[in-house]
Amino acid sequence: MTPTPEPFTTQATPSELDDLRARLRATRWPDAPEDAGWSLGTDIGYLRELVDYWAEEFDWTAQEAALARIPRFRVELGGLGIHVAHVRAVRSHGAADPHGATPAMPLILSHGWPDSFWRYSKVIPLLTDPGAHGADPADAFDVVVPDMPGFGYSDKPAGPPLNSIAVAGLWAELMDALGYDRFGAAGGDIGSHVSRYLALDFPERVLAVHRTDAGIPVALPGLKLTPQERAFVDEAAAWNLSEGAYAAMHRTKPQTAAVGLTDSPAGLAAWIVEKLRSWSDCDGDLENSYTKDEILTLVTMYWLTGTIGSSMRMYNANSAIPQAQLARRVEVPSGFALFPGDIVRPPREWLDRAANTVHVSELARGGHFAAFEEPELYAQELRDFFRPYRRAAPVDQYG
């Protein structure tokens, strides 16, 4: 039987929020070298300010209510409850028109770490109701944004963590449950991997795939690289030496870090906030890209769901994916958006090697979390890329 999506809402209890505030106020702070700033990791001065705001002023209840305005569901897939935002297109400023002349394309968006469906919360209305935001109403999407297993409000796998290939299989089942036979796929970070495997393993269903990165490159044995590709591989290796310690921990000993991060909200914030700053196009100042409320909405979600450990374990699962899988080429039409503040930017030669690349954009602003940092740019990028593939899906699947 096809699983039935059930409406889903959350409401933190007063005791959960009281416990969080008590822990924040009792934080045992480390020392830091004078003027260290962000050079050795999270700036303790900034974090003290953020933690104080979190304990005394941040209104989680208001943020939770704002997220509740997004239609959200849970679906049982593979023995796991998967949380998903599913928002149907608005075709004419408030009137749903699923049987219009040009049907809304279903689009599944996959997030990465350290985030959740939060990554796409700003872009959902721009994609589902473009006419209300100065764009062509014909570019509307039915948007599907699931939380990965072990992230956000989706269940944590009780056994071994799932890798990106397994999650892609779940997403294919999810789209069945939501009534979509063919669809577009997009994502970044781990979500880029999941979108890739959706296109690789379900090419008859994926109309086109859009990614904001091609992953950290793996120079597989026997590959003859161009000078540009070699520079890309070398750049990624240098980044891994200077910035990749977190990923080595996630791949090898995630449970060690999970103990402290699950027990200390200040520690959890330090682990996540440092990545938001390092990977965003914020010029070294987080508040150029995010408000405190936006940052703390993400971090509080991790705290209340207790998912930092389970989210990190997906790195361990992905590290065991065989090289033969990494070497597969995506033949589904593929597009890439390269944002200036992202971690590493692949050359066109690498993208052509990895996929049937029909579209590459170099955007003026944005980083690793572009859908949240620059939602208007990201939404327009998706509208432009997917427009030629809309009529390839049968009209009668929408309803």
> Facing residues of 184 across strands?
107
Measured CA to CA in angstroms, residue 382 lies from 100, 338, 377 at distances of 20, 13, 9
Nearest residue to 381 via CA among 189, 229, 184: 184
Angle of helix 308-319 relative to helix 254-263, nearest 10 degrees?
Answer: 170
Residues 6+ apart with CB under 8 A from 132: 90, 93, 125
Residue 398 has pLDDT above 50, yes or no: no
pTM: 0.95
The per-residue pLDDT for 102 is: 60
According to CATH, the topology of domain 6-394 is: Rossmann fold (3.40.50)
CA trace torsion 275, 278, 280, 285 (10° rounding): 110
d(CA 377, CA 143): 17
Residue-wise pLDDT for 78-104, tens only, equals 999 999 999 999 965 444 444 444 679
d(CA 127, CA 376): 9
Residue 393 has pLDDT above 60, yes or no: no
Give residue 223's pLDDT band: very low, low, confident or very high (50, 70, 90).
confident
The per-residue pLDDT for 92 is: 55
> Facing residues of 145 across strands?
85
Asked if the bond preceding 114 is cis, omega within 30° of 0, the reply is yes
Give residue 361's pLDDT band: very low, low, confident or very high (50, 70, 90).
very high
d(CA 146, CA 306): 18
Residues 6+ apart with CB under 8 A from 253: none
Residue 395 has pLDDT above 50, yes or no: no
Domain boundaries, the chain: 6-394
Q: Calculate the average pLDDT of the chain.
A: 94
Helix (H) or strand (E) run with residue 87 in it? strand 80-87
If you average pLDDT over residues 202-217, what whole number do you get?
A: 94
Measured CA to CA in angstroms, residue 391 lies from 105, 139, 179, 338, 388 at distances of 9, 12, 17, 26, 7
The per-residue pLDDT for 346 is: 95
The per-residue pLDDT for 396 is: 40
**Mapped to the 3 state alphabet, what secondary structure does 91-158 carry?**
CECCECCCCCCCCCEEEEEECCCCCCHHHHCCCHHHHHCHHHHCCCHHHCEEEEEECCCCCCCCCCCC
The per-residue pLDDT for 371 is: 98
Measured CA to CA in angstroms, residue 115 lies from 89, 93, 119, 208 at distances of 24, 30, 6, 24
| Higher pLDDT pick, 392 / 350 | 350
CB 217 within 8 A of CB 232: yes
Residue-wise pLDDT for 311-356, tens only, equals 999 999 999 999 999 999 999 999 999 999 999 999 999 999 999 9
Residues involved in catalysis: 189, 315, 368
Ramachandran region of residue 335, left (φ > 0), alpha (ψ -120 to 50) or beta? beta
Rounded (5°) CA angle 161-165-167: 60
Beta strand 141-146 with 105-110 is parallel
What's the N-to-C CA distance of the chain in angstroms?
20
Query: Which token pair is 249?
Result: 């921990």
69-76: long-range contacts (C-beta < 8 A, 24 or more apart)?
Answer: 70/121, 70/124, 71/7, 72/7, 72/8, 72/9, 72/153, 73/5, 73/6, 73/7, 73/8, 74/5, 74/6, 74/8, 74/153, 75/3, 75/4, 75/5, 75/6, 75/174, 75/177, 75/178, 76/3
d(CA 272, CA 223): 35
